Amino acid sequence: MDRLEGMAILLSVVARGSFSAAARELNVPVQTVSRKIAELENYLGAQLITRTTRSLSFTDAGIAYTAAAKRILESVEVAEREAAGEFVTPKGDLVLTAPILFGRLHVLPIVSDFLAQFPDINIRLVLTRHNLNLLDDQIDMAVRIGPLPDSGMIATRVGSMRGVVCGSPMLIAERGIPQTPGDLVEFPCVSSDGPNTTAGWRFRDPGNGSPFEVPVVPRLTTIAEAAVEAAVRGVGLVRALHYQVDEAVAAGNLAIVLQAFEPDPFPIHLLHAPRAQLPLKMRSFLDFAAPRLRQSVRHLRTE
């Protein structure tokens, strides 16, 4: 039997939690997954998985073998990359992901310059409103705006981003300028869906620095780009990340208010999964992109 194939299928079952989910991921019949696991168990002379109609559980032998299989497959991957020259010459395919508007404004120009300098590297830039799972979605590197969960990923900080509240000149002329977050009850508001949004709008007390939230009942809730456009049209005040409103503020179509109460800026990171050895294509992009991203968003209060 092909033990490496069996190990890969076993790890997919572990990651997905069921034979059927692993079969969908591998694009093979579920019977194939079941047969390959059975062949692996017969070869080893040990039961790895205890199967019921509702769930899977792993025996002690299964847990130990899974850990060893993961190490073996990682070593094989490194050996293959070395044989292909990926650790010697920057080349190959690179998959990146970033928020849609931030990616278009700040990542795409850097990617374009990088491709001009590294002709043997091809990039797939996935722009999305939701954070993708780097391992499950086979992403090499991601731009993340906001606090990072304790995921074991390797993060390179490239700055930080203000969270601001803005209103159109027409709305401010009609309603006045809010002096404190408590004044928001007198204003129509527009909210956006996204990974950093909450039911209440977050602020920071300028006196003692303590964070607090103000409950807001939005007149409109939509994606960030549409929320900013609605604010430009005078629908209401909008809370957004600074890069999302930068062009509108510069053009005079929106004005930032409540600046003294802004929360702590959101960190910006380049994120990738831990590896025994980082492929040269990823190291090259990280070294190329990190300083350029810092410079690109410096005026948006970055570090």
Whether 135 and 280 map to the same domain: the answer is yes
The rounded distance, in Å, linking the Cα atoms of 286 and 146 is: 19
15, two tokens = 């990651």
The fraction of the chain above a pLDDT of 70, given in percent, is: 92
Q: With contact defined as beta carbons under 8 Å apart, do 33 and 9 qualify? A: yes
Strand partners, 147: none
Instruction: Please list, in sequence order, all residues whose beta carbon lies within 8 angstroms of the beta carbon of residue 61, skipping any fewer than 6 positions away.
Output: 44, 46, 47, 48
Q: What is the pTM of this model?
A: 0.69
Q: Considering only 7-11, 95-99, 299-303, which range has the smallest mean pLDDT?
A: 299-303
The rounded distance, in Å, linking the Cα atoms of 26 and 16 is: 11
Residue 199 CA to chain centroid, in angstroms? Answer: 21
Whether 17 and 66 map to the same domain: the answer is yes
Whether 61 and 150 map to the same domain: the answer is no
Span 181-221, pLDDT tens digits: 999 999 999 998 765 556 689 999 998 989 999 999 899 99
Select from 41, 56, 83 the last residue of a domain: 83
Dihedral of CA atoms 12, 14, 19, 24 in degrees, nearest 10, equals -30
Whether 182 and 243 map to the same domain: the answer is yes
Whether 279 and 145 map to the same domain: the answer is yes
Residue 256 CA to chain centroid, in angstroms? Answer: 27
The amino acid sitting at 285 is F
Span 94-125, pLDDT tens digits: 999 999 999 999 999 999 999 999 999 999 99
Whether 191 and 246 map to the same domain: the answer is yes
The rounded distance, in Å, linking the Cα atoms of 29 and 34 is: 9
The rounded distance, in Å, linking the Cα atoms of 207 and 195 is: 28
Whether 149 and 275 map to the same domain: the answer is yes
Confidence of residue 302 (pLDDT cuts 50, 70, 90): very low
Whether 153 and 287 map to the same domain: the answer is yes
Residue span of the structural domain in which 100 resides: 92-160+266-300
Phi first, then psi, for residue 80 (nearest 5°) are -65, -40
Domain count, the chain: 3
Confidence of residue 303 (pLDDT cuts 50, 70, 90): very low
Whether 148 and 283 map to the same domain: the answer is yes
Rg of the chain over CA atoms, in angstroms? 25
Q: What is the pLDDT of residue 298?
A: 85
Cβ-based burial of 211 (10 A; exposed 0-12, middle 13-18, buried ≥19): exposed
The CATH number that applies at residue 119 is: 3.40.190.10
